[in-house]
Structure 1
Amino acid sequence: MAKILILNGPNLNLLGQRQPEIYGATTLSDIEASCAKLGQSLGFETELRQSNHEGVLVDWIHEARGTTAGIVINPGAYSHTSVAILDALNAYEAPVIEVHISNIHKREAFRHHSFVSTRAEAVIAGCGPHGYELALRHLAVIAGA
C-alpha cells in the first residue's frame, strides 16, 4: 500500500486552541484521523507528522525520498521564509501538495509569497481543515496512490 506523508510546520500543534477565528476548532489529531480514514478509502496509508523545527521537516522530506507516493505539506510560517524546505522538496521526486488552512492571500502581505508553492503541483488555501482531504484526493489522482 502506497504511503502519503502529511507534514505540518510550526504552531500547527496548537490547532483548535490558537486563533480559532482564523484556524477553527479542529485539532491536528482530528485532521490526522480524517486523513487516515480517507486515505484508507482511497487505497493508501497516511502518516502525519508535525514539527516546530525547520531542520526536522527537512530531514523528514529527505527520509520520504523513494519511500512515499507524495507529500502533503502545510509548512506554516516556513512557507514564507524557508529556502531549506524548498531545496529539500526539490530533491524529492514524487508529487507535493501545499495546504494552508487559511487563505494566505487575504492575510498580511508577507504571507502572500510561499517558497514551497514554486515546487508544489497544487496549492490549496482557505478551505480550512478540509484542504487536507482535498490534497489527498488530488494526490490519489496524480500519484496513483
Structure 2
Amino acid sequence: MIRSKLKEVAIALKGWKSTLPYPFGPGHPVPVGFRGKVEVDLDKCIGCAGCANVCPTRCIEVVDIDQETRRIEIHRERCIFCARCNEVCPEGAIYLTFEFELSTDNKEDLLDRLEVYMATCQRCGRCFEPANPLDRMMVTGFRWPEERQREGVRSDGAGD
C-alpha cells in the first residue's frame, strides 16, 4: 500500500499539467460538432416558427406583432443546446456557433429580439414570407431597423 502511494506521489510531482490556464490563457480547442450559442441569420429566416415548435424548453418564441411584422425572441438562459431548431429549419437560418461563454450579470443580455418583415394573406390575415425577392421588396419596402432610426438616419437615405 505504501508503495502504491509513493508511486502516485511520484506521478503527481513529475510536473505534468493537469489544468489549463483558461481564463488567463488559451483553453482547449473546441471539438468538431460542438453546440454553442444559438444564432439566427435574418436574411435567410422565413419566419415559419418551426424552430419554436420543436424547442423543448421554449427557448425560441415567435410572436406576431402586427400584420406585417413577426418577432423572434431567443431566451438564451433556457437553451439546452439540443440543436433541434437547427435540424428543423428549412432554410438553414438558425445555427449553433462555437461560442460557449454566455455568463453575464444582466439577464437582458441573454434575450435577443429579432424582427422579420412578412406579407399577409388576403384571406386569413396571417403572416407569410414572400418566396420571390422582388415580392419581398414590395412588401417590406425600404424599412430601416429601429436602431438606425434612433441614430437619426432618415428613411429616404439622407442623414442629419
Bucket of the pairwise TM-score, normalised by the shorter protein:
under 0.3
> Which one has a larger percent helix, Structure 1 or Structure 2?
1
TM-score normalized by structure 2?
A: 0.23
TM-score normalized by structure 1?
A: 0.24
> Which of the two has higher C-alpha Rg?
2
